[in-house]
Amino acid sequence: MNTHANGAPSSNGTTGPRTDLIGADPTDRVDAEPIYTGDVDTGKTVVVCGAGGFIGGHLVADLLRQGYDQVRAVDIKPPNQWFQKFPQADNRSLDLREKENCYAALEGADQVYNLAADMGGMGFIENNKALCMLSVRINTHLLMAARDMDIGRYFYSSSACVYNQELQSTADVEPLSEEDAYPALAEDGYGWEKLFSERMCRHFREDFDVTTRVARYHNVYGPFGTYDGGREKAPAALTRKAVEAKLSGDHSITIWGDGTQTRSFMYVDDCVDGTQRIMHSDITDPINLGSDELVTINQLVDVIEKAVEVDLGREYDLTKPQGVDGRNSDNTKIQQELSWEPPTKLRDGMEVTAEWIEDQIRRHREEETTSRFAVAH
């Protein structure tokens, strides 16, 4: 593997993901050096909504690494079903679709990161549009609580799914700049909810002086995320299939679509870093947070094959949800505003991700379990 514990340059000259952040012991992960190294007031109380989810768990860990006195982690799931749980945090199970729970979650808080949503990969959001739309209740009630409780800063995690679908009709897609969300033709269901919630953030900022920040995430992947059960996204789903094919001896996988669709994928550490950079910036309008390394799904499988060390036969299922033909992040604005963009190369991030997923699958098989929650992590 080319990565190093401190994120030092890998053998190919890039900065590899840090392997000290994915150990089995949560305390070791919190004792590591933080990803975000900007100046912060650690006397603040910070709330992470959606803390039991993939990105939320990584964000809670990094806030704890920075030494915040109070990190409140909130999720609808019971804590024993969270991807990452840290005893150093104030862990609460609350349904943030309900208004009173949002007020309870934000009581005494100074900063709020809203990553909470009912969502998943393409298979989930294509078949659960109403559920995705109902996430609007979470952001609306949290914004109301933020206004009434005079919260200092409020971050909302939006998505590249807000972008006009007519601009994503070819695999050879032009990178999507922030202005391309309008005229609006967002992805049905999930994308429209995200776009509406962006507008809510804008108007609460303009009308009620709530300091809001909005990032449009582009296809985040990495360890400590879902890789089975129907909500997983393409990198995790394809890695799981590759590992299962390797372990079974049947070296073939099924790819949704024809493999020519294009995407860019952002490693989760870059997402955590960028999220906090945006939170503490003066950027008031929604901004892209994603890699601009565009690959086809077939090329993604090439990367996964190398990471898993298996050669796969490929079958294509054109009946499955595929999403838009092409999507890539235009990082001009984030480079101008922050002099930064997500640095991790796909091949480096997938090495770490694939190793983690394979380890999870092997452990589950050894213990004759099927649920990722059945093995302590």
Before 343, cis peptide (omega within 30)?
no
Residue 225 CA to its chain's centroid (Å): 9
Kind of pairing between the strands at 262-264 and 294-296: antiparallel
C-alpha torsion sign, points 204, 210, 213, 217: negative
Q: In 107-189, which ranges are continuous DSSP H helix?
A: 122-127, 129-133, 136-148
Q: How far apart are CA 235 and CA 248, in angstroms?
A: 20
Q: What is the pLDDT along the chain (377 residues), one digit of tens a residue?
A: 333 344 444 434 456 899 999 998 999 999 999 999 999 999 999 999 999 999 999 999 999 999 999 999 999 999 999 999 999 999 999 999 999 999 999 999 999 999 998 766 666 767 678 887 888 999 999 999 999 999 999 999 999 999 998 999 899 899 999 999 999 999 888 899 999 999 999 999 999 999 999 999 999 999 999 898 777 888 999 999 999 999 999 889 999 999 999 999 999 999 999 999 999 999 999 999 999 999 999 999 999 999 999 999 999 999 987 788 899 999 999 999 999 999 999 999 999 999 999 999 999 888 876 555 444 43
Ordered domains of the chain (ranges, CATH): 22-374 (3.40.50.720)
Q: How far apart are CA 106 and CA 360, in angstroms?
A: 34
Q: State the Rg of the chain over Cα.
A: 20
Q: How far apart are CA 169 and CA 173, in angstroms?
A: 8
- Would you list the DSSP string of 187-241? PTTHHHHHHHHHHHHHHHHHHH---EEEEEE--EE-SSS--SSS---HHHHHHHH
Tell me what pLDDT residue 120 has. 60
Q: How far apart are CA 342 and CA 331, in angstroms?
A: 9
Q: How far apart are CA 120 and CA 213, in angstroms?
A: 23
Q: What angle do CA 39, 44, 48 make, to 5 degrees?
A: 95
Question: 97, 117, 113, 263: which is closest to 194 by C-alpha?
Answer: 117
Q: How far apart are CA 58 and CA 22, in angstroms?
A: 10
> Which of 68, 190, 217, 221 is flagged as catalytic?
190
**Nearby residues of 13 by Cβ (< 8 Å), 6 or more positions away:** none
Tell me what pLDDT residue 241 has. 95
Question: What's the per-residue H, E or C state across 318-332?
Answer: CCCCCCCCECCECCH
Residue 211 CA to its chain's centroid (Å): 22
Read off the tokens for 207. Answer: 């009308």
Residue 103 annotated among the catalytic residues of the structure: no
Q: How far apart are CA 1 and CA 354, in angstroms?
A: 11
Q: How far apart are CA 259 and CA 323, in angstroms?
A: 12
